[in-house]
Structure 1
């Protein structure tokens, strides 16, 4: 039965009449003056720039290179007291935080010390402006990095805010290969202390690889727990058998704190709250917005929210629950009521007895009207309904659940990524690669995604902050109202169950860019396609020598170890493989 329909509209006109920025075009790097401002009372300032600087057109040239060394390691850890096999970055879950300032150059060396797995690292939400090769997507922008190999990623921090990095090879991200990224810059509201990233992950007591067959043949597995910055208890409170430890933050009365919330789950949508406290939301994904207040924040998979909270409830209590509540309408979790941290006031060490806010269990984004970007950009409406190409996506069962587009499951090659094919002038892509060409530069692409199934999908677009023009239940029609004046911009939006989303962006960042559902089980089941954007410009943004070297190393490893694809379940997008010895 037909489950999803993708409609692609490429409006054939230039953008001179629009105030929308040329997102992704080559940036004029402006040498940054000595840094002033960005104090607790003036967070909107940033050196000689400000929160009102259009970062799509202007990027500071800091003259600073931040260099990091990451190593992917297999080990055993017990983040909630239960010991299991994991994959880690530098031996920890989460991995180290990558920190930079807006405009810095980042050089990140990733050594693959996994035993038999290839790998890559994707810098989620980083637009990779004219640096497509560094997007870190196996089979699209690079070959798999072989065990023992080191891959170096180089890109400029042209955005600022909160994001994360993770493996983009099979299910490795959800066995522990993830970490946070903080790019410092201005903010739309003042605060005193940056409390840093708070990463929420659903957690299983088996590896994601071992659970994949269940996910692809029946109902998704039930998570055993959730981890807040890599830790939580497991078991009932008060039980002698409870293991692990809780995440905790120390607050000083009267102080305001910035919290950087990141959902890295494989299949969990969360409601975040701190009992008795009001949250001021100042950014969604990597886009600063006009501040608004709320008691609860809905965080879809792979989304980020920056919030400010003030420690102004000392008259009520000295200890408060910080809660991430998985929504049962999205997925199941054995510890749904106990994925909690503690906020301690003024050195207290007590256990809270505070009460959560009331909420409706649901798997949705917050109302898109709340998200008003500080830097206002519009989307042209001309020719929106012209030159629309329908792309059908069906849900089929062949012993496993697999998604197809134009009747084809996305099936790509670790050793022959899309960008390498383009460099070799081989652009007669296989149907199974699910490639949509966007050949013209500086034009608008619109995509309408709708589903008849009662399942929500977090849709992630690589290479762009998309403009969210519409989001709602029911089918899209010509009568659907589009938000064209300063619509929300972000890199992940929830496709509502039995609903639709309409996204738009400009073709101003040449490369092969993936679009996919960020539920891990759906990704490996092929719910994805790719845009080949401005194919004639792609060779100029690719370092063919480094690309070819990685591919050669992978090819040697795969040949020597007889690495093959298990076609029964995983001949899909980000592929699990088995090693067969002779």
Structure 2
């Protein structure tokens, strides 16, 4: 069903992807600036795992989470919104600031927990936002205030970790300003976040239900692909949902950006989708990669950047094109993802070019290699160098599909399909000295291990973006088949919090467990795979966890959740995460 009404950007209540979106500063200046910058004499070579500034500045945000009708690509559907919009507000802070976010849950029938992706939460694991792991969900009608220390810097995002809610719209970008890389030729303009996300016209609960009643592993396919929450859709191709056709508006509008000719522009790419492996490019422009996740890297050039779910890549782009307008593109790999959606496009206008002009640029001829992998490990090395430490624990974790007694296809991670208990978070039990956990919680007690090496063995023909909470992983090796024992760049391997695991391949990572006592999820970041049990949790240094003084408000959140569930039954049809 097509309507003549043209949906404007303002109907979607987000400035992201509009020409009104503010450019970002080098850093926020509304606090004292010793030695000219908030981080004083610290620089891009400072070991931020051991030393980070403490500015004493609190950046306060207030989020109200609710349901409402929006049409990000012209197809109207129920969307989970933050402060009435999608995507959620940009959180912005300086390295060393404290971010304070008060979350009000106005969803009537579900809990909420927000995860601050990539934040180490050193000494404050209860702020990680993982229900059944580090907290109880925020009950309907209740609030919780998260407090986060920005001890890393770069680009990231936040999202709900309650079931697959973030597929329903609960996402937003985070920018932590930090010292520029000494090795990097400086950029002139910070364009800000560029969020890439596959999009579904069905509501997220229906998609979870489809996943969790799946008796023949029929995949969930995306309907569209968005850049900063915007894209067009051909209404004539819209299929009915639940025996009805939702309103659809042609020409909803795409995201738009403005470049200044001759200037260098920083773009903060974020894959905030549910399943799709994104391939990002700008017609006629080379992308200089300068950061992956929260780790500045020695720059290299490419025409296409590959991002798995949860990954971030900062690129510097010089506006040296001859045309006045160019297409920005992001397509989901149809080889590596279950996706038949059109490529996402956005328009880039040079200087004062009329923003009604349709770009005539041509895409780069860079075919999808079909490897489902990130860029080669030997070309991605961090600016702040760290060699791989000796490990004192080695784990092998096979990944497998299996069919349960009801005929539903689920994921095994190291022999268990995870299912959490919202009322009994692992962290709070460990803090009380209770280290006896249900098998389906899939807890690995690492005891006093200092550095843990994990070989994730993919016994499926599907790729997986593997994410760890609380740490940056050293990425030691990845590839097809079994690991041969070699390490790429042992003196300075890339460190990330998400990395692609190839189909029928391996991913060897290491993390310094002793550096961050707590309970930390380790999982595939594809929403439907987490729902189907692809999740494990590491308990690190339990003796120190038992000594932690967890704020009373965390226990109060559990009491509120217990009270709500005493008279309401939460519709937890999946793993819970």
Instruction: Output the TM-score relative to the length of structure 2.
Output: 0.87
Secondary structure in structure 1 of the residue aligned to 2:560 = helix
Secondary structure in structure 2 of the residue aligned to 1:396 = strand
Q: Is the 8 A contact 1:516 1:523 kept in 2?
A: yes
Q: 2:252, 2:478 → 1: CA distance?
A: 40
Q: 1:516, 1:345 → 2: CA distance?
A: 41
* Residue 345 of structure 1: aligned partner: 350
Higher relative contact order (CA 8 A, sep 6+): 1
Residue correspondence of structure 1 range 33-52 to structure 2 within 5 A: 34-36=34-36, 47-52=40-45
Q: Is the 8 A contact 1:88 1:94 kept in 2?
A: yes
- The Cα shift of 1:395 comes to 1.8
Change (3 A) 1:540 1:221: same
* Residue 103 of structure 1: aligned partner: 96
- The Cα shift of 1:47 comes to 3.5
Listed one character per residue, the Cα deviations across residues 494-528 of structure 1 (whole Å, up to 9, x for unaligned) are: 01111111101112100000000001000000001
Listed one character per residue, the Cα deviations across residues 371-402 of structure 1 (whole Å, up to 9, x for unaligned) are: 11000000134xx5x76455554321132221
Q: 2:493, 2:415 → 1: CA distance?
A: 33
2:402 to 396, 419, 428: 396
- The Cα shift of 1:330 comes to 2.0
Matched, 1:420 2:424: no
* Residue 223 of structure 2: aligned partner: 224
- The Cα shift of 1:540 comes to 3.6
Q: 1:437, 1:241 → 2: CA distance?
A: 52
Change (3 A) 1:35 1:115: farther
Q: 1:286, 1:534 → 2: CA distance?
A: 24
* Residue 509 of structure 1: aligned partner: 516
Q: Is the 8 A contact 2:327 2:345 kept in 1?
A: yes
Residue correspondence of structure 1 range 134-533 to structure 2 within 5 A: 134-188=127-181, 189=184, 190-216=186-212, 217=214, 218-235=217-234, 242-313=250-321, 316-337=322-343, 339-349=344-354, 350-361=357-368, 362=370, 363-381=372-390, 388-398=394-404, 399-405=407-413, 407-440=415-448, 443-478=450-485, 480-507=486-513, 508-533=515-540
Q: 1:327, 1:564 → 2: CA distance?
A: 32
Change (3 A) 1:310 1:387: closer
- The Cα shift of 1:573 comes to 4.2
State the aligned residue count.
523
Q: Is the 8 A contact 2:136 2:422 kept in 1?
A: yes
Q: 1:514, 1:157 → 2: CA distance?
A: 20
Q: 1:134, 1:417 → 2: CA distance?
A: 13
Matched, 1:71 2:64: yes
* Residue 17 of structure 2: aligned partner: none
Change (3 A) 1:456 1:393: closer
* Residue 18 of structure 1: aligned partner: none
Q: 2:312, 2:397 → 1: CA distance?
A: 29
- The Cα shift of 1:474 comes to 1.1
* Residue 26 of structure 1: aligned partner: none
Change (3 A) 1:230 1:358: same
Secondary structure in structure 1 of the residue aligned to 2:127 = helix
Identify which range, 400-409 or 275-284, moves more after superposition: 400-409
Q: Is the 8 A contact 1:125 1:463 kept in 2?
A: yes
Listed one character per residue, the Cα deviations across residues 196-241 of structure 1 (whole Å, up to 9, x for unaligned) are: 001011111111211223334132222111111111111299xx97
Listed one character per residue, the Cα deviations across residues 302-358 of structure 1 (whole Å, up to 9, x for unaligned) are: 100001111111xx2101000001110122444423x10011012213111111112
**Going by fraction, where is strand more abundant, 1 or 2?**
1
Listed one character per residue, the Cα deviations across residues 44-97 of structure 1 (whole Å, up to 9, x for unaligned) are: xx5422222221122112121111111111000011111100101111111000
Q: 1:220, 1:78 → 2: CA distance?
A: 24
Change (3 A) 1:377 1:345: same
Q: 2:199, 2:501 → 1: CA distance?
A: 24
- The Cα shift of 1:242 comes to 3.2
Q: 2:141, 2:249 → 1: CA distance?
A: 40
Cα-Cα RMSD: 2.0
Change (3 A) 1:243 1:420: same
1:548 to 547, 555, 558: 555
Q: Is the 8 A contact 1:470 1:483 kept in 2?
A: no
Q: 1:147, 1:176 → 2: CA distance?
A: 18
Residue correspondence of structure 1 range 52-71 to structure 2 within 5 A: 52-71=45-64
Listed one character per residue, the Cα deviations across residues 441-467 of structure 1 (whole Å, up to 9, x for unaligned) are: 6x1100000113221000000000010
Listed one character per residue, the Cα deviations across residues 461-492 of structure 1 (whole Å, up to 9, x for unaligned) are: 000001000011111234x4453210000100
Q: 2:571, 2:168 → 1: CA distance?
A: 21
Q: Is the 8 A contact 1:32 1:61 kept in 2?
A: no
Instruction: Output the TM-score relative to the length of structure 1.
Output: 0.86
2:108 to 115, 134, 144: 115
- The Cα shift of 1:369 comes to 1.6
Change (3 A) 1:120 1:542: farther
Identify which range, 316-325 or 392-401, moves more after superposition: 392-401
Residue correspondence of structure 1 range 7-26 to structure 2 within 5 A: none
Q: Is the 8 A contact 2:393 2:453 kept in 1?
A: no
Q: Is the 8 A contact 1:59 1:158 kept in 2?
A: yes
Q: Is the 8 A contact 2:119 2:152 kept in 1?
A: yes
Unaligned runs of 5+ in 2: 1-30, 237-247
Unaligned runs of 5+ in 1: 1-30, 39-45, 575-582
Listed one character per residue, the Cα deviations across residues 232-282 of structure 1 (whole Å, up to 9, x for unaligned) are: 111299xx9733101010111111111000001111111111100111111
